[in-house]
Amino acid sequence: MHHVRTITDSEYNPPGSAPPRPSLRGAGAAPGTLTAVPQADQTSPESFPGPPRPMRVEPVPLAELARLLDAEDAGAAVTGPAGAPEGDAAPEAGLSGVSVTGITHDSRAVRPGDIYAALPGARLHGADFVDQAHSLGAAAVLTDPGGTERAAATGLPVLTVPDPRGRMGKLAAAIYGTPGEDLLQIGITGTSGKTTTAYLVDGGLRKAAEKDGGLTGLIGTVESRIGDERIKSERTTPEATDLQALFAVMRERGVRSVAMEVSSHALVLGRVDGCVFDIAVFNNLSPEHLDFHRDLEDYFQAKRQLFTPERSRAAVVNFDDDHGFRLLGELKDEGFPVTSFSAEGHPDADWRAADVEVGPLGSTFTAVGPDGQKVPAGAPIAGPFNVANALAALTALVAAGIDAHTAADGIAAVPGVPGRLQRVDAGQDYLAIVDYAHKPDAVESVLYAVRKVTEGSVHAVLGCGGDRDPHKRPAMGAALARLADTAVLTSDNPRSEDPLAILAAMLGGAAEVPAHERGTVLLEEDRAAAIRAAVARAEPGDTVLVLGKGHEQGQNIAGVVRPFDDVQVLHEAIRARAADHPEASSAAAPAAESLSSPSYSPSTSSSSPTSVENQRTDNQNR
């Protein structure tokens, strides 16, 4: 029988309502996040490289696209096939007979009839690859003044604008017949919970689609889905050229609605240009991507771009988040349609959660609507923060015109999200979980959630990525040291950085935690060995928690990506320990209950971790 804890308004402990505590047995924190991962069964059905394209595209005259650019950008110029600039009064002159059936920014993915978008980059310019694009059948080139001469040397027509990246989206939408207009589009942004919320929205859309037989689409960090077909994702939000093509494929195959993650990078870099979302969702904001954004305000303003008439028709905003509350006030002042939600049960929110019960497999609550409407609802993934994600999904679906009870049923039926509190079951008598939490707030949130369903100790593994925001490393090390009984500091994706330098920053944060408040801290550069070290300490009733990479299936070390799957490595470590200690395995109780499903149930060298308690570094087996 599952034990649940009933949470009343006074006991819910909203973030910031109590001072920080050194123990896991305290208030919850902000939602965790997750990101990207190709799975073994996610493939592109296309014989051409790159993301899928629609099978049928009505050719668009290049002259028509040139006129569109001229209308959008007074600085646009056209170079005809002969290589001479055409007159300003007739920018389409010399382009007659040239038609376009696609657009791509990747010279390797060019198909006959494509516009090749040659974009300026940090090290190389896309114009360096125009010959390859030409050889593959490009019909024209879109570029900036810096790439015009090289592009024109191919003899192809050249469309020159100051900011070609900022024009790709609208060109792609025009080429593919504005496919997004035929889809109900729900976009989700925020620091944490985008992926989970997108899956939950998709669950509600699928339930609603059962009535009319339509299909649903999903675009995000883990994967894209066209109905039940799964396609690996390269990034959270596809580039504008790929995104509009994907919309066209969805429309072609009968998809009528799509849930999509919208990252701050996507908004700043124009990846969602050409999109107008029916509903835009704001989950929360906390420090992240500060290697890309100047500061937190710049990060907020990037997210803010989604909530404008050019990007969306209506908004759904988290009342409980400080930046969400600010956004809510700004949108109301502007007269922009907005609906608020509060997982903390604030009576001024349009939708709020009441009667929340948190259990080991998920949570249940009552969603209370604007007119006192009450809808039984559930978050199918454990953790108080997933109540917020579920309520966000429900509010967005209702705002999109879907019946609240239908939406709630679809959300509750979602089987789980890859790499988000994902259970690994190899018959052990302790809980083993993989999660993508990779920033301080997310790490704290997951640890609090896990503690609620753990009778014994929590043994957690965590690393920080290289070539990314270095300022969060000490805070992540401190969070793990304070909130886990065993904190194993290890590598994530070091990329070009020295793994030990990253570990030193994490250890510095852990050392700032008073000795009486921190658990045992271990250092192990090798991630597989770190996972084995955590498994070796697990006893019946404990939890082993591997954080940071979630569903990812590779590890980038010094620029070389090698296969690495936390779920698989954890499963192998559990099996190896059981094989080494069969007497313990034979006496094992049934595996602990999962925090989410699906569970994983189906290499590495041995290395002893270093304990901070012993004040030494052991590099013998590295």
Distance CA 77, CA 516 (A): 68
**CA angle centred on 294, ends 288 and 297, rounded to 5°:** 75
Helices 566-580, 527-537: axis angle to 10 degrees equals 50
Cβ–Cβ contacts within 10 Å for residue 84, how many? 9
Tokens 């007979």: give the residue.
97
Distance CA 453, CA 543 (A): 9
* Nearest in space to 122 (alpha carbons), one of 467, 515, 405, 512: 467
Helix ranges, 59-181 (H): 62-72, 130-135, 145-152, 165-175
Q: DSSP letters of 173-220?
A: HHHTT-GGGGSEEEEEESSSSHHHHHHHHHHHHHHHHTTTT-EEEEES
* Nearest in space to 317 (alpha carbons), one of 292, 295, 342: 342
Helix ranges, 335-469 (H): 384-399, 404-412, 440-451
Distance CA 95, CA 171 (A): 16
Q: For residue 551, give both structure tokens.
A: 């569903």
CA 28 and chain centroid, separation: 22
In this structure, the dihedral spanned by the alpha carbons of residues 147, 141, 234 and 555, taken in order and rounded to 10 degrees, is -40
Q: Please report, for residues 127, 156, 157, the alpha-carbon distance to residue 152 in angstroms, rounded to integers and kept in the order given.
A: 10, 6, 7
In this structure, the dihedral spanned by the alpha carbons of residues 299, 303, 308 and 310, taken in order and rounded to 10 degrees, is 100
Residue type, 302: A
Secondary structure E strands in 344-477: 351-359, 362-368, 374-379, 422-423, 431-435, 458-464
Distance CA 593, CA 591 (A): 6
Annotated binding site: 107, 190-196, 236-237, 263, 271, 468, 492-495, 548, 552
**CA angle centred on 392, ends 267 and 375, rounded to 5°:** 160
* Nearest in space to 62 (alpha carbons), one of 70, 74, 54, 52: 70
* Nearest in space to 128 (alpha carbons), one of 146, 115, 112, 140: 146
**CA angle centred on 398, ends 392 and 403, rounded to 5°:** 130
Annotated binding site for ATP: 190-196
- Beta pairing, strands 140-143 & 114-118: parallel
Q: Is 60 helix (H, G, I), strand (E, B) or coil?
A: strand
Is residue 586 classed exposed, middle or buried when 0-12, 13-18 and 19+ CB atoms within 10 A define those classes? exposed
Q: For residue 117, give both structure tokens.
A: 């978008």
Distance CA 263, CA 143 (A): 25
Residue type, 554: G
